[in-house]
């Protein structure tokens, strides 16, 4: 069985969801009441691959909302309690969605393996970041040519380059895609220098300078709020793949040669018949989902009950190949731009 641990995008969205599910006392409750609420197994799901294999899963809402990020103990407890519920439910492989994998890493929850009577078994959990990184790279490779951008001649900025997903994207784009130049953006200088050395290239730039040169931008910074950018400083055409959760990029950036694509989202080949993506602002919530969630499904389809994506900066190209091939085999497609193909000049 596969599992997905998620949360609402805001307290207001969580209250609306609670109302729609008939949890009236939660819908009326204040943030303090939500802070002490336990995780909920909200939905059970079945998915059938084009190969004919059928898998069963469950969606667990951690009852965390981003407004709790500053409440260290609460955020920590929400993630651990949701993991405990997944394990006690007998789920073999569960993806940590949204902020939960970042809370797990940043708050060092590896040290908190004991949750009441349950010893958490880390092999039952995955961040889903390998599939997310693979999907983001595929979105770049499939969509840049639609805008007339030749990636071999293109500068690609990765915002959040030193992160788990960002560093994997950089490795793939430099070694597999062969982009002309990578522009590396993050705040801390030392991890940037280490990444540059590992890649054997790439230019470290502040965000504003990278944006003024980049033909393609992959946004994978862990930002609690979207960045607003000045579109007048961007080259045209420009492809912006927004892989952050919540979205890293103000939607006002789009328009007039600037194409913003929702990053790290995949579409399954048929309707799944679930409710959980309705609240996630997907264009086709019956088929679309976060790539990290899809990773848990892929691991279940493939019988790989292991923490496939775990820790930080461990994602290899071989693992991206493996999960990418599984993604295609089981009927997932990376979300693309809805634009007519560019005529080569």
Helix, strand, coil percentages (3-state) for the chain, rounded to 5, are 40, 20, 40
Which span sits near ligand NDP by CB under 6 A: 1-9, 60-68, 172-180, 238-246? 238-246
Which residue, judged by CB position, is nearest to ligand NDP in the bound state? 163
Among 291, 297, 322, 326, contact with ligand NDP (rule: CB under 6 A): 291
Q: Which parts of 10-39 interact with ligand NDP (CB under 6 A)?
A: none
- Whole-number Å distance between alpha carbons of 134 and 136: 6
Q: Which parts of 211-230 interact with ligand NDP (CB under 6 A)?
A: 220-223
Question: Per-residue x/- marks for ligand NDP, 105-144, CB under 6 A?
Answer: -----------------------xx--x------------
Q: Which parts of 168-207 interact with ligand NDP (CB under 6 A)?
A: 185-188, 191
| Size, binding site for ligand NDP by CB under 6 A | 30
- Whole-number Å distance between alpha carbons of 95 and 79: 12
Cβ closest to ligand NDP, residue 26 vs residue 76: 76
Which span sits near ligand NDP by CB under 6 A: 54-62, 65-73, 170-178, 242-250? 242-250
Asked if residues 304 and 295 have their Cβ atoms less than 8 Å apart, the reply is: no
Cβ closest to ligand NDP, residue 286 vs residue 314: 314
Q: Which parts of 51-90 interact with ligand NDP (CB under 6 A)?
A: none
Minimum Å gap between C-beta 33 and ligand NDP is 26
The b/e string for 155-180 (b: 16+ C-beta within 10 A; e otherwise) is bbbbbbbbbbbbbbbbbbbbeebebe
Which span sits near ligand NDP by CB under 6 A: 38-46, 64-72, 84-92, 289-297? 289-297
Among 58, 109, 214, 292, contact with ligand NDP (rule: CB under 6 A): 292
231 touches ligand NDP (CB under 6 A)? no
For 228, phi and psi rounded to 5 degrees?
A: -100, 140
- 129-143 and 317-329 helices, crossing angle to 10°: 80
What are the distances in angstroms from CA 325 to CA 74, 298, 333?
Answer: 38, 10, 11
Minimum Å gap between C-beta 25 and ligand NDP is 30
Asked if residues 210 and 182 have their Cβ atoms less than 8 Å apart, the reply is: no
Helix (H, G, I), strand (E, B) or coil at 332: strand
Cβ closest to ligand NDP, residue 94 vs residue 101: 101
Among 35, 102, 210, 217, contact with ligand NDP (rule: CB under 6 A): 102
Which span sits near ligand NDP by CB under 6 A: 47-55, 137-145, 241-249, 269-277? 241-249
160 touches ligand NDP (CB under 6 A)? yes
312 touches ligand NDP (CB under 6 A)? yes
- Whole-number Å distance between alpha carbons of 187 and 212: 18
331 touches ligand NDP (CB under 6 A)? no
Contacts of 232 (CB under 8 A, 6+ apart): none
Exposed/middle/buried for residue 140 (C-beta within 10 Å: 0-12, 13-18, 19+): buried
Specify which residues 48 forms β-bridges with. Answer: 54
Q: What is the DSSP string of 72-124?
A: HHHHHHHHHHHHHHHHHTT-SEEEE-TTHHHHHHHTTGGG--EETTEE--GGG
Minimum Å gap between C-beta 298 and ligand NDP is 13
Place of tokens 């929702």: 262
Strand pairing category for 181-185 and 155-159: parallel
Minimum Å gap between C-beta 197 and ligand NDP is 16
Query: Residue numbers of the site for ligand NDP (CB under 6 A)?
Result: 101-102, 128-129, 132, 159-166, 185-188, 191, 220-223, 243-245, 264, 290-292, 312
């Amino acid at each position: 069985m596969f599992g997905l641990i998620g949360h609402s995008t805001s307290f207001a969205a969580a209250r609306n969801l609670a109302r729609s599910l008939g949890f009236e006392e939660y819908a009326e409750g204040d943030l303090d009441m939500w802070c002490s609420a336990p995780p909920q197994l909200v939905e059970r799901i079945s998915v059938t691959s084009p190969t004919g294999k059928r898998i069963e899963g469950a969606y667990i809402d951690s009852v965390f909302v981003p407004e709790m990020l500053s409440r260290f103990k609460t955020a920590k407890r929400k993630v651990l309690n949701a993991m405990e519920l997944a394990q006690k439910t007998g789920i073999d492989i569960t993806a940590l969605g949204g902020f939960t994998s970042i809370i797990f890493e940043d708050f060092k929850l590896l040290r908190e393996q004991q949750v009441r009577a349950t010893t958490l078994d880390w092999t039952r959990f995955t961040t889903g970041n390998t599939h997310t990184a693979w999907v983001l790279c595929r979105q770049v490779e499939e969509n840049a040519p639609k805008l007339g951008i030749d990636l071999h001649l293109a500068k690609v900025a990765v915002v959040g380059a030193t992160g788990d997903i960002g560093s994997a994207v950089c490795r793939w784009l430099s070694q597999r895609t062969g982009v002309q130049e990578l522009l590396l953006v993050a705040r801390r200088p030392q991890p940037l220098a280490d990444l540059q050395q590992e890649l054997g290239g790439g230019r470290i730039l502040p965000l504003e300078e990278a944006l003024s040169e980049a033909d393609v931008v992959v946004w994978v910074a862990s930002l609690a709020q979207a960045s607003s950018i000045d579109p007048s400083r961007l080259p045209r055409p420009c492809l912006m793949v927004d892989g952050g959760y919540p979205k890293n990029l103000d939607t006002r950036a789009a328009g007039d040669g600037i194409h913003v694509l929702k990053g790290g989202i995949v579409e399954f080949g048929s309707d799944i018949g679930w409710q959980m993506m309705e609240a996630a602002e997907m264009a086709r919530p019956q088929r679309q989902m976060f790539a990290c969630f899809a990773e848990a499904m892929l691991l279940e389809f493939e019988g790989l009950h292991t923490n496939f994506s775990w820790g930080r900066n461990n994602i290899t190209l071989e693992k991206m190949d493996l999960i990418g091939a599984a993604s295609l085999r089981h009927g997932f497609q990376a979300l693309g731009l809805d634009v007519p193909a560019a005529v080569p000049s």
